């Protein structure tokens, strides 16, 4: 079951609904069901005839429905529709569509560029994608076929028949053997076990490998043979398929002989899901209710919504800008063309006459064609290859995470998982982290610490290494020994803990294939399995105190008490755990016939329901424990009279058979039952902090990331954990926004008070800092609980200023360094994430969690990270990235995220830059060729520029670049601030790159123009033509853009050398070859010997050198000056790194001792220095020492650090 | 559709430098000393280069004579295309103040003639000019066939508009003695063009090889009569044709017309004195408001006398040096203030 002290593992509720002897009188139910049919009006249901047997006439009018067969189709395409469908899918992407249009325009109208130039890359991209998708689809087809054709055992006319799985129909009765997977969603009719249970693992569904018990329908569990089952005459009504794996509502009508039907409720405990595997049970019979694509598994495979990274968004914005530039360029040229041609002597000179058909063409048609032709001419400014490169960079780059040794957890044998590669760079942009507590910050490895019974504290003996003393009498009675009644209570308490749970005892017969997490060496102790570690810890703890839970057999729970006697309790009801009630109860009947209700749950949900018991003592103990960070549970009981029990039974049964709102009705029933309890005591369970959790949080906070803890735990426990992991420090002033406080004051007042506190301080801070007085900065921590949050989130009744509280709340949060949200329901976690996500700064959020209760926030946040934890794979499966431990987040964000961001932003900017360089000269050339769309470069150059001459260096850069070392990034988290808020893709930076591109293009073009104009550039007097001019511009360009990248590269591995010098060499070799032969397949030889002739002229060499230098010079100069005058934290680090290495005598020694003592002081200095410079640029002390940071602050010429310090006054 | 990830328990990542992103690498360090030395070196180099280039550009001599207006009457005649068969000559006298020593090159230069128009550039048949398939005129629109549908050789707009003025230079020793300056018609075009890209069809007699074809519209004589004196310069391999067929990049361009044959009086170049160009004026430029001129020029190792490269080098060098000093100053200044804590 669940951990009551908060963490709501919603995904894994195992409702142990015991349909014991609770058959409701048939007539009574029918009445109820008719009423229900009237009020529920459930059209969304289906009726299944078990074994295709019609129900007796007149039972009820059923609407026949058509169901799909059991074919699983995960493939998208068939052999026939692959090409059209795939093409359609691909061209739905806006970029591909754009390129297709360009290509078509090129085909249709007479354009200067050959359709090949844009067709070839597009064709390449489309083909590669199609092949990849086709292959994937083929694999899916294969898997589908294997699945659809695997044999399944049916019952047909009382005999066992083998058929292919795909022929299964709804209503068929299926037999499944041990270790087989269920072929479709089945209602569990019977198993070979006498108690009608079976065990199932859902490892392939949600990743949980623990065994779950499912229960057969009460009335059919006796049918053990094929004939028996075939004789079953029943119908099932159930809801239409829903994707929720853990919810199912239905009922079965069993027609016995000629009597009225027996109606039974069906819940998810009766449902066996496709994909799950039968374990520990020889065989089961079930009836198919959902088949094929309607199974819950198939419904769950629907792909998640695509998350797009901030980089991708800015990339798309830039694309639109470039599209506008493109259109305006084409428009300008078209207009100018007609202006230019308006002079008759230019329109049609004698040497360039038009054909007759051209003269007769409509002017507007001609202008439109010209416009399209210009579009085509300049279309390379938006390169297809950028998309390919970005995709490749993301795909290949994501492997660095999976390969990372530091993020591999040897203990678990797990490494990080990358479920999407689209968000790599988003890891470098995180501003808010929402973390779960249990299992994420803590280990979720529970150890029973103590229990408190009526104020007396019991601590079981524990030997250091965690092994239990063999003699089970180890009780330390801290307080004075209790009296006789106390002893009674004490035993009742232990029994309560022994009984009130849903722990399973591992079956020793099948022991080898069950992974028991804690096999005790002591043979007497059992191995307990539960989805909640708290329960296991409690049952084990109480075992050490003398009471051992043995097993559940035939609805009797067996307990071995201190005297080694076996006590048997009949389990009557389980009021299962849920996150709203935060408690669970069992109703048991002792051998003496007394009926007890035992209830355990969070203190806040138990105390209000207690009418008797030493509440104050227990409460004080609970609070003490909570402050120490222990997870506490309270235990209470009540004795039920038989009549009372009858009422309870009726109440529950009525709720259970309801088809609609069953949950709500159950909750109401539980609410009614669990009251007037007698408090017994409380337990405390310790959950240790994960290793390096504190270190990680500290680093993340230094990196400028706000860490919020969202937990279902109670406030005290959670805040203790927060202190332990240094989220709150001694100096942190805690602000509380809790239900307790709201009881005293209205929400309005509290909020305003808090905001005043926070704002006053930040206001005074800035004043003080100018006068240089303030040195101690307050940092605030906010604690808010779920109830208060829902008050804030709730729109106000008057509606006049709804959302006002939210703003105020956000304002407070923004000024707090840490926020703790406790008592959160899973959905509230997602709400918080959403609230921050859509607040006015639109920060990038990251959610990390390990349990199913975190899935909603993982899906909601920009980046969802799952911790591959003890509580199954739900979170990991739904996350974008999964890591084994919380501590790995540090490297994930600070190193990988930083690198990815640096890399992809350079990739994007560089791509636009190099295409501006490429196309702008083409645009300029139109002014000299009468706007006739003459290309500047040869077709081969146009085609290959983006594909081969300049593609590899940037791709490899974007995979390999490390602007500072990995160690430095880890050691100095504040460097992360340098790239915050998408710093490298801001408009300013983008415009800088674009202007750099324009400047370079002007240099290439006019440099070459003035060189060519009027002068002979050869020593033999021969002249060059237009293709030589284009080639010269192109050569300068290829060298400039490649060298520009080389200048930006900080990390030169042999691969970088290889690709950068290699592509330059390739360009030269290609040009030599391309112009070296008369290519037989070309109708023109315009490039013949052009390149070689160009190189044979001295001025061309001089010109190339000069133009490359002039193009690069301003950027280098800007870099050098900015680095000197307004260095970012990263650049300082680089400088220090450099200085450090220079100061060392032997370079080898410096490398080896890097990070060791000799460099420590410097490193520490560096980090503190840059940290101070970043965070406290306002402080006058810094101001005097660091005069050069001030221009950076005021001018905002540098990207990250200074800005962030302005925006977040800390 | 998402493929279920497989959780393999024994998947410890390989510890290779590439996978761990720890490839041995050299960091590009822009330390002050490195940057400064690079800047100073670049500045110095550019400055020196600039001075050398300017000096050598100054050593060349160039003379340009625009004869559009001088031969105005001819120009007017040519504006009406029906007068194409009327001869018009014009003499342009000029005085050369200094000797032009070394190889002297004679260029014709056109202003406002767009040889780089898109359709113009396309309008040629390379297969024809290669001599392989001289009847291939499909790319030559709108100058594919003549009025009576015979294919034009050489076809296309480029060939059609060939510069067809004949320019000779005469050296006027005195008012009575006019010596025609000997000029070479060879070595004007790229070697590869002349011997690879342009080839006559294999036939004993060019005229018969081209029989059945029409001459281009603006031509006065067929292609096989371009240079009847020299069979190696006739037909497609005529250097004037080849030079013209290499389209210029800009509307103002010059093309090599003749080279000085350095014999007799002109062994060292052109001596100073009175000269005149005798021009047979055929090429109409005034219709598109263009101009044409003749250029005489000597060359050095860097080609003609353009000052652009030299000046740009000098300016770049000077600016780089200036920037270097600025960086040095800033560096020294910062070093003093930063010393406290670094």
* pLDDT, position A890: 92
Interface touch A1025/B288, C-beta < 8 Å: no
Per-residue tokens: A319? 């694309």
| A203 vs B180, more confident | B180
* pLDDT, position A1181: 34
Of A403, A1014, A1054, which is closest to B306 when you measure between CB atoms?
A: A1014
Flag whether residue A350 sits within 8 Å of chain B, measured between CB atoms. Answer: yes
d(CA A686, CA A701): 26
Which residue's structure tokens are 């299944």? Answer: A48
Judge whether A508 counts as a catalytic residue: no
Q: Do β-strands B25-27 and A1051-1053 pair in parallel, antiparallel, or remain unpaired? A: antiparallel
Among A971, A911, A898, A976, which residue's Cα sits nearest to residue A947?
A911
Interface touch B303/A930, C-beta < 8 Å: no
d(CA A160, CA A440): 49
Interface touch B19/A1054, C-beta < 8 Å: no
Of A415, A873, A1125, which is closest to B330 when you measure between CB atoms?
A: A1125
CA distance A1047 to chain B (A): 8
* pLDDT, position A1168: 37
What are the start-end ranges of the E strands in A282-398? 283-290
- φ, ψ for residue A42 (rounded to 5)? -90, 100
- φ, ψ for residue A420 (rounded to 5)? -140, 145
Flag whether residue B263 sits within 8 Å of chain A, measured between CB atoms. Answer: no
Find the range with the poorest average confidence among A305-319, A980-994, B48-62: A305-319
CA distances from B340 to A1127, B57, B329 (A): 17, 54, 19
Among A380, A228, A450, A210, which residue's Cα sits nearest to residue A915?
A380
Cβ–Cβ under 8 Å, residues A416 and A884:
yes
Cβ–Cβ under 8 Å, residues B292 and B109:
yes
What burial class does residue B56 get, using C-beta atoms within 10 Å of its C-beta: 0-12 exposed, 13-18 middle, 19+ buried?
A: middle
Of B11, B320, B334, which is closest to A1113 when you measure between CB atoms?
A: B320
Using the predicted structure, report yes or no on whether residue A659 has a pLDDT greater than 60. yes
Interface touch B7/A204, C-beta < 8 Å: no
Q: Which residues of A touch B196 (CB under 8 A)?
A: 1078, 1088-1089
* pLDDT, position A899: 94
Interface confidence (ipTM) of the complex: 0.94
* pLDDT, position A472: 36
Find the range with the poorest average confidence among A341-350, A414-423, B79-88, B171-180: B79-88
| A424 vs A1163, more confident | A424
CA distance A791 to chain B (A): 39
Flag whether residue A1117 sits within 8 Å of chain B, measured between CB atoms. Answer: yes
Cα-Cα-Cα-Cα torsion A877, A878, A883, A887, nearest 10 degrees, comes to -140
Interface touch A1109/B316, C-beta < 8 Å: yes
Flag whether residue A877 sits within 8 Å of chain B, measured between CB atoms. Answer: yes
Interface touch A933/B118, C-beta < 8 Å: yes
Note the pLDDT tens digit of each residue in A530-567: 767 778 888 888 888 888 888 877 788 888 888 888 88
Percentage of residues in chain A having pLDDT higher than 90: 18
Per-residue tokens: A1203? 């800005």
CA distances from A652 to A399, A580, A638 (A): 53, 18, 17
* pLDDT, position A953: 94
Flag whether residue B146 sits within 8 Å of chain A, measured between CB atoms. Answer: no
- Sign for the CA dihedral angle at A421, A424, A427, A429 comes to negative
pTM: 0.78
Using the predicted structure, report yes or no on whether residue A770 has a pLDDT greater than 80. no
DSSP characters for B140-196?
A: -TTSSB-TTSPBBSS-SHHHHT----EEEEEEESSSS-EEEPPEE-SS-S-HHIIII
Among A247, A229, A230, which residue's Cα sits nearest to residue A238?
A247
Q: How many CB pairs under 8 A join A and B?
A: 288
Our measurement of the distance from residue A624's CA atom to the centroid of its chain's CA atoms, rounded to an integer in Å, reads 36
Among B38, B49, B332, B315, which residue's Cα sits nearest to residue A1117?
B38
Note the pLDDT tens digit of each residue in A858-901: 888 999 999 887 656 767 877 889 999 899 999 999 999 999 99
Q: Do β-strands A432-436 and A706-710 pair in parallel, antiparallel, or remain unpaired? A: parallel
| A918 vs A1202, more confident | A918
Using the predicted structure, report yes or no on whether residue A1039 has a pLDDT greater than 90. yes
Using the predicted structure, report yes or no on whether residue A702 has a pLDDT greater than 80. yes
* pLDDT, position A226: 81
| A1110 vs A249, more confident | A1110
| DSSP helix/strand/coil, A975 | helix
Flag whether residue B201 sits within 8 Å of chain A, measured between CB atoms. Answer: no
Q: Do β-strands B273-280 and B89-96 pair in parallel, antiparallel, or remain unpaired? A: antiparallel
Cα-Cα-Cα-Cα torsion A168, A174, A178, A180, nearest 10 degrees, comes to 10
pLDDT band at A518 (very low <50, low <70, confident <90, very high): very low
Per-residue tokens: B253? 């361009």
Flag whether residue A1200 sits within 8 Å of chain B, measured between CB atoms. Answer: no
Burial A1098-1122 (b: 16+ CB within 10 A, else e): bbbebbbbbbbbbbbbbbbbeebeb
CA distances from A891 to A637, A763, A863, A894, A895 (A): 49, 35, 15, 5, 5
| A54 vs A1021, more confident | A1021
Interface touch B249/A204, C-beta < 8 Å: no
Which of A721-725, A771-775, A1004-1008, A1019-1023: highest mean pLDDT? A1004-1008
Q: At A452, which helix (H) or strand (E)?
A: strand A442-453
Helices (H) and strands (E) in chain A, counts: 43, 36
* Beta carbons within 10 angstroms of residue A38's beta carbon: 8
Among A817, A829, A741, which residue's Cα sits nearest to residue A781?
A817
Q: Which of the 8 DSSP states describes residue B214?
A: B
Among A453, A437, A412, which residue's Cα sits nearest to residue A541?
A453
Alpha carbon distance, N-terminus to C-terminus of chain A: 43
Average pLDDT on A35-46 reads 48
Bond preceding residue B142 cis, omega within 30 of 0? yes
Q: Which of A185, A219, A436, A578 is catalytic?
A: A436
* pLDDT, position A767: 41
Of A962, A1017, A1078, which is closest to B21 when you measure between CB atoms?
A: A962
Flag whether residue A1018 sits within 8 Å of chain B, measured between CB atoms. Answer: yes
Among A132, A61, A134, A124, which residue's Cα sits nearest to residue A96?
A124
Query: Which residues lie below 8 Å from residue A845, measured CB to CB, with a gap of 6+?
Result: A430, A431, A432, A433, A434, A833, A836, A837, A861, A862, A863
């Amino acid at each position: 079951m669940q951990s009551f002290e908060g963490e709501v593992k919603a995904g894994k509720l195992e409702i142990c609904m015991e349909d014991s002897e609770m058959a409701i009188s048939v007539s009574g139910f029918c009445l109820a069901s008719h009423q229900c049919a009237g009020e529920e009006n459930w059209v969304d249901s289906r009726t299944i005839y078990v074994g295709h047997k019609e129900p007796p006439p007149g039972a009820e009018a059923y609407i026949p429905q058509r169901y799909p067969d059991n074919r699983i189709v995960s493939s998208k395409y068939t052999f026939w529709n692959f090409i059209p469908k795939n093409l359609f899918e691909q061209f739905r992407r806006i970029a591909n569509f754009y390129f297709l249009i360009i290509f078509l325009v090129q085909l249709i109208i007479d354009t200067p560029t050959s359709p090949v130039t844009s067709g070839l890359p597009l064709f390449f991209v489309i083909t590669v994608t199609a092949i990849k998708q086709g292959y994937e689809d083929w694999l899916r087809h294969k898997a589908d076929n294997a699945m659809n054709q695997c044999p399944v055992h049916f019952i047909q006319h009382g005999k066992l028949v083998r058929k292919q799985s795909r022929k299964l129909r709804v209503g068929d009765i299926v037999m499944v053997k041990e270790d087989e997977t269920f072929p479709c969603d089945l209602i569990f009719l019977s198993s070979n076990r006498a108690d009608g249970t079976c065990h199932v693992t859902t490892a392939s569904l949600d990743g949980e490998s623990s065994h779950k018990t499912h229960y057969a329908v009460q009335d059919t569990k006796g049918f053990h043979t094929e004939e028996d089952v075939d004789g079953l005459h029943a119908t099932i009504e159930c809801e239409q398929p829903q994707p929720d794996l853990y919810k199912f509502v239905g009922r079965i009508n069993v027609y016995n002989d000629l009597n009225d039907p027996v109606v039974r409720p069906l819940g998810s405990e009766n449902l066996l899901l496709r994909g799950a595997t039968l374990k520990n049970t020889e065989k089961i019979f079930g009836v198919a209710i959902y088949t094929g694509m309607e199974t819950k598994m198939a419904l769950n495979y629907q792909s998640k919504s695509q998350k797009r990274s901030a980089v991708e968004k800015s990339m798309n914005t830039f694309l639109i800008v470039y599209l506008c530039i493109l259109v305006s360029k084409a428009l300008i040229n078209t207009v100018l063309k007609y202006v230019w041609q308006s002079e008759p002597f230019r329109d049609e000179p004698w040497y360039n006459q038009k054909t007759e058909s051209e003269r007769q063409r409509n002017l507007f048609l001609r202008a439109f064609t010209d416009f399209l032709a210009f579009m085509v001419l300049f279309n390379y400014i938006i390169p297809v290859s950028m998309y390919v490169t970005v995709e490749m960079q993301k795909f290949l780059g994501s492997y660095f995470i999976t390969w990372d040794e530091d993020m591999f957890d040897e203990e678990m044998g797990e490494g990080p998982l990358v479920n999407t590669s689209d968000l790599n760079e988003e890891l470098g942009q995180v501003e808010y982290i929402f973390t779960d507590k249990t299992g994420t910050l803590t280990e979720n490895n529970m150890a029973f610490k103590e229990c408190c019974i009526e104020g007396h504290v019991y601590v079981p003996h524990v030997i250091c290494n965690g092994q239990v003393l063999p003699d089970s009498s180890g009780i330390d009675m801290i307080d004075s020994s209790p009296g006789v009644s106390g002893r009674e209570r004490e035993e009742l308490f232990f029994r309560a803990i022994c009984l009130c749970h849903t722990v399973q005892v591992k079956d020793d017969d099948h022991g080898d294939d069950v992974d028991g997490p804690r096999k005790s060496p002591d043979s007497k102790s059992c191995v307990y399995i539960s989805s909640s570690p708290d329960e296991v810890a409690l049952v084990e703890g109480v075992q050490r105190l003398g009471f051992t839970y043995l097993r559940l057999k035939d609805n009797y729970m067996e307990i071995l008490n201190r005297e080694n006697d076996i006590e048997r309790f009949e389990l009557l009801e389980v009021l299962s755990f849920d996150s709203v009630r935060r408690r669970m109860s069992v109703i048991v009947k002792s051998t003496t016939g007394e009926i007890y209700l035992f209830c355990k749950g969070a203190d806040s949900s138990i105390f209000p329901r207690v009418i008797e018991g030493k509440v104050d003592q227990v409460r004080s103990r609970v609070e003490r424990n909570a402050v120490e960070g222990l997870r506490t549970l309270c235990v209470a009981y009540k004795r039920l009279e038989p009549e009372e029990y009858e009422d309870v039974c009726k109440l529950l049964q009525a709720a259970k058979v309801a088809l609609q709102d069953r949950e709500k009705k159950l909750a109401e029933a539980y609410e009614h039952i669990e009251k007037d309890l007698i408090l017994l005591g409380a337990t405390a369970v310790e959950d240790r902090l994960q290793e390096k959790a504190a270190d990680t949080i500290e680093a993340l906070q230094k990196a400028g990331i706000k860490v919020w803890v969202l937990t279902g735990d109670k406030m005290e426990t959670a805040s203790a954990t927060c202190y332990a992991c240094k989220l709150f420090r001694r100096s942190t002033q805690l602000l509380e926004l809790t239900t307790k406080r709201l009881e005293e004051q209205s929400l309005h007042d509290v909020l305003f008070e808090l905001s005043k506190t926070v704002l006053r301080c930040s206001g005074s801070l800035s004043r003080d800092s100018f006068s240089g007085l303030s040195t101690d900065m307050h940092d605030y921590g906010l604690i808010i609980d779920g109830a208060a949050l829902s008050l804030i989130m709730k729109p106000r009744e008057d509606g006049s200023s709804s959302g006002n509280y939210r703003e105020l709340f956000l304002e407070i949060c923004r000024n707090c360094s840490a926020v703790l949200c406790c008592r959160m329901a899973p959905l509230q976690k997602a709400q918080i994430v959403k609230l921050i996500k859509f607040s006015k700064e639109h920060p990038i959020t990251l959610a990390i969690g390990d349990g199913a209760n975190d899935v909603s926030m993982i899906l909601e946040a920009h980046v969802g990270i799952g911790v591959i934890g003890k509580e199954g794979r739900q979170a990991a499966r739904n996350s974008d990235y999964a890591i084994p431990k919380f501590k790995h987040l540090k490297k994930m964000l600070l190193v990988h995220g930083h690198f990815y961001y640096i890399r992809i932003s350079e990739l994007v900017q560089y791509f636009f830059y190099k295409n501006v360089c490429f196309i702008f000269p083409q645009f300029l050339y139109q002014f000299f060729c009468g706007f006739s769309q003459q290309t500047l470069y040869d077709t081969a150059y146009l085609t290959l520029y983006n594909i081969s001459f300049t593609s590899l260096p940037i791709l490899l850069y974007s995979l390999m670049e490390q602007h500072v070392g990995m160690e430095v990034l880890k050691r100095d988290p504040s460097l992360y601030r340098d790239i915050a808020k998408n710093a490298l893709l801001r408009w300013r930076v983008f415009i800088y790159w674009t202007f750099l591109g324009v400047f370079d293009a002007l240099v290439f073009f006019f440099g070459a123009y003035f060189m060519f104009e009027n002068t002979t550039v050869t020593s033999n007097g021969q002249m060059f033509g237009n293709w030589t001019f284009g080639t010269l511009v192109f050569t300068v360009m290829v060298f400039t853009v490649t060298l520009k990248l080389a200048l930006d590269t900080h990390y030169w591995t042999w691969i970088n050398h290889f690709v950068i010098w290699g592509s330059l060499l390739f360009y030269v070799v290609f040009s030599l070859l391309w112009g070296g032969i008369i290519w037989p397949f070309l109708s023109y030889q315009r490039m013949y010997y052009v390149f070689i002739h160009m190189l044979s002229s001295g001025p061309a060499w001089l010109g190339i050198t000069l133009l490359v230098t002039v193009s690069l010079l301003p950027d280098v100069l800007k870099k050098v000056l900015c680095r000197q005058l307004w260095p970012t934290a990263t650049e300082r680090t680089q400088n220090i790194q450099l200085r450090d290495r220079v100061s060392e005598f032997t370079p080898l020694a410096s490398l080896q001792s890097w990070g060791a003592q000799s460099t420590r002081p410097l490193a520490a200095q560096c980090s503190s220095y840059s940290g101070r410079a970043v965070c406290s640029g306002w402080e006058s002390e810094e101001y005097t020492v660091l005069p050069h940071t001030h221009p950076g602050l005021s001018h905002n010429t540098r990207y990250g650090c200074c800005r962030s310090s302005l925006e977040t006054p800390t | 559709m998402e493929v279920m990830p497989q959780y393999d328990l024994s998947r410890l990542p390989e510890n290779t430098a590439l996978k761990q992103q720890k490839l041995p690498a050299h960091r590009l360090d822009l330390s002050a000393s490195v940057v400064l030395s690079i800047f100073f070196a670049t500045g110095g180099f550019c400055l020196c280069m600039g001075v050398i280039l300017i000096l050598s550009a100054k050593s060349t001599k160039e003379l340009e004579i625009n004869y559009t207006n001088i031969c105005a009457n001819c120009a007017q005649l040519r504006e009406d295309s029906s007068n194409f068969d009327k001869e018009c000559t014009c003499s342009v006298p000029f005085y050369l103040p200094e000797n032009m020593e070394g190889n002297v090159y004679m260029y014709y230069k056109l202003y406002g003639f767009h040889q780089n128009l898109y359709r113009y550039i396309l309008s040629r048949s390379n297969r024809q000019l290669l001599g392989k398939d001289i009847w291939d005129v499909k790319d030559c629109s709108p100058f594919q066939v003549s009025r009576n549908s015979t294919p034009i050789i050489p076809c296309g707009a480029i060939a059609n508009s060939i510069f067809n003025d004949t320019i000779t230079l005469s050296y006027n020793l005195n008012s009575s003695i006019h010596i025609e300056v000997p000029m070479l018609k060879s070595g004007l075009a790229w070697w590869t063009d002349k011997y690879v890209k342009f080839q006559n069809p294999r036939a004993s007699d060019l005229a018969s090889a081209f029989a059945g074809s029409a001459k281009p519209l603006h031509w006065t004589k067929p292609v096989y009569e371009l240079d009847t004196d020299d069979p190696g310069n006739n037909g497609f391999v005529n250097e004037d044709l080849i030079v013209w067929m290499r389209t210029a990049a800009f509307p103002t361009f010059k093309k090599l017309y003749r080279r000085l044959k350095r014999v007799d009086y002109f062994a060292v170049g052109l001596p100073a004195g009175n000269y005149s160009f005798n021009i047979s004026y055929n090429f109409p430029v005034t219709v598109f408001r263009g101009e044409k001129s003749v250029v005489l020029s000597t060359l050095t190792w860097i080609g003609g006398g353009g000052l652009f490269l030299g000046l740009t080098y000098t300016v770049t060098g000077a600016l780089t040096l200036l920037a270097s000093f600025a960086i040095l100053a800033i560096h020294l200044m910062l070093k003093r203030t930063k010393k406290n804590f670094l």
